[in-house]
Amino acid sequence: MQVFRYSQAHTVDAAVQNAARSGGAFIAGGTTLVDLMKLNVLQPQSVVDINGLPLDRIETLPNGGLRIGALVRNSDLASNQTVQQQYAVLSQALLSGASPQLRNMATTGGNLLQKTRCYYYRDTNYPCNKRQPGSGCAALDGFNRIHAVLGGSDHCVATHPSDMAVAMMALEATVHTRGSKGERTIALDEFYLVPGSTPDRENLLLPGELITHVTLPALASGTRSVYLKLRDRAQYEFALASSAVVINVSGGAVQRARIAFGGVGTKPWRSREAENALEGQPATSETFHRAAEAAMAGAKPLKYNAFKIELAKRALIRTLTETTQSA
């Protein structure tokens, strides 16, 4: 691991100023950063410890929504009563990710910024446009079973690994940040970037800009939500395909649906195609199959990951069936 300058920040302003000045990385749980620093994939010259910042609370908002501090640990968010009762999809997604030890460390802000598990990104012996822009992509012609079928480019096909972010996509979360130019509010759907020709740019954060909170809107009564994660092991494995559904059904018809996928996209993948195929339609198996086809219509398989397309369709159909069965 390269040496770095370490400092602790006790206010958000100090953290942002310090990181902007030093070109530093923020550290909270450390579960991604320390891992990748050991591999020399990330080599920050400066590390700003933000664990002392007052961003560790979960608060109900006056409008009924939820405000989640960036330092709230994954395990605490998953076991929060409000989250379990009103945003079940989020609790389920969090508990499907990583291990209990890692969930005790990993934070809300850090999870949104988790780095891909692409083998070639993690191994500095291989070219990787995300790690070293312009060096090429070893995954395109490599072993690409875990890679993306949606949102990829000729430069990068790495998947985003987060489960939490997929649930937050379906919940239409908003990211709140503080940077040297002040505060910003960004819809999570717009926060992430597809790789295009600049896969090293994964989101809209500017250097030194810090995620301070995530907010979730209130959900209409009767909303049901669920997260289903399909993977090579029963526990402690990244998704090959996952599906997050947030849905309202009334009188046998889908009133409102928010659909997102994990494990198949270069970012947590919201599918407006699936939502459009569902809303206003009868909550039947035929509708769900049409939504699944619509969601994956633009999918582009690589040599080893074509199975993900069918897997994602079945994940969506199963979660839709589960959430629309009469209680």
Partner 1 sequence: MDQPKNPLLDTQEADTGKKPTTDQEREPTLGRFSRRSFLAQLGAAGVAATASPLAHATETEAPEKESPPRVPGAVPVTLNINGKEYRVRLEPRVTLLDALRDHLQLFGTKKGCDHGQCGACTVHVNGRRVNSCLSFAIMHQGDKITTIEGLAQNGQLSPVQQAFLDHDGFQCGYCTPGQIMSATALLHEPIGPDDNAVRAAMSGNICRCGAYNNIVAAVQQARARKTA
Residue 184 CB, nearest distance to partner 1 (Å)? 27
Among 4, 12, 132, 142, binds partner 1 (CB under 8 A): 4
According to the binding rule CB under 8 A, does residue 57 interact with partner 1?
Answer: no
Stretch that binds partner 1, among 44-52, 221-229, 260-268, 275-283 (CB under 8 A): 44-52
* Cβ-contact 244, 260 below 8 angstroms: yes
According to the binding rule CB under 8 A, does residue 250 interact with partner 1?
Answer: no
Q: End-to-end alpha-carbon separation of the chain, Å?
A: 53
Stretch that binds partner 1, among 63-71, 207-215, 228-236, 249-257 (CB under 8 A): 228-236
Number of residues in contact with partner 1, rule: CB under 8 A? 32
CA distance 198 to 142: 20
According to the binding rule CB under 8 A, does residue 17 interact with partner 1?
Answer: no
According to the binding rule CB under 8 A, does residue 3 interact with partner 1?
Answer: yes
Stretch that binds partner 1, among 156-164, 179-187, 234-242, 308-316 (CB under 8 A): 234-242
According to the binding rule CB under 8 A, does residue 235 interact with partner 1?
Answer: yes
According to the binding rule CB under 8 A, does residue 23 interact with partner 1?
Answer: no
Stretch that binds partner 1, among 31-39, 144-152, 239-247, 270-278 (CB under 8 A): 31-39
According to the binding rule CB under 8 A, does residue 34 interact with partner 1?
Answer: yes
Among 21, 38, 181, 272, binds partner 1 (CB under 8 A): 38
Q: Site residues for partner 1, window 190-219 (CB under 8 A)?
A: none
Nearer to partner 1, 49 or 273 (CB): 49
Residue 49 CB, nearest distance to partner 1 (Å)? 6
CA angle at 311 for the pair 292 and 127, rounded to the nearest 5°: 115
CA distance 268 to 170: 10
According to the binding rule CB under 8 A, does residue 125 interact with partner 1?
Answer: no
Nearer to partner 1, 189 or 237 (CB): 237
- Which x/- pattern, by CB under 8 A, does the window 72-111 give for partner 1? ---x---x------------------xxxxx-xx------
From 158, 142, 163, 153, select the one nearest 261 (Cα to Cα): 163
According to the binding rule CB under 8 A, does residue 14 interact with partner 1?
Answer: no
- SS3 track for the chain: CCCCEEEECCCHHHHHHHHHHHCCEEECCCCCHHHHHHCCCCCCCEEEECCCCCCCCEEECCCCCEEEECCCEHHHHHHCHHHHHHCHHHHHHHHCCCCHHHHHHCEHHHHHCCCCCCHHHHCCCCCECCCCCCCCECCCCCCCCCCCCECCCCCCCCCCCCCHHHHHHHCCCEEEEEECCEEEEEEHHHHECCCCCCCCCCECCCCCCEEEEEEECCCCCCCEEEEEEECCCCCCCCCCEEEEEEEEEECCEEEEEEEEEECCECCCEECHHHHHHHCCCECCHHHHHHHHHHHCCCCCCCCCCCHHHHHHHHHHHHHHHHHHCCC
Nearer to partner 1, 79 or 281 (CB): 79
Binding residues for partner 1, per CB under 8 A? Answer: 1-8, 27, 29-31, 34-35, 37-38, 45, 47, 49, 51, 75, 79, 98-102, 104-105, 234-236
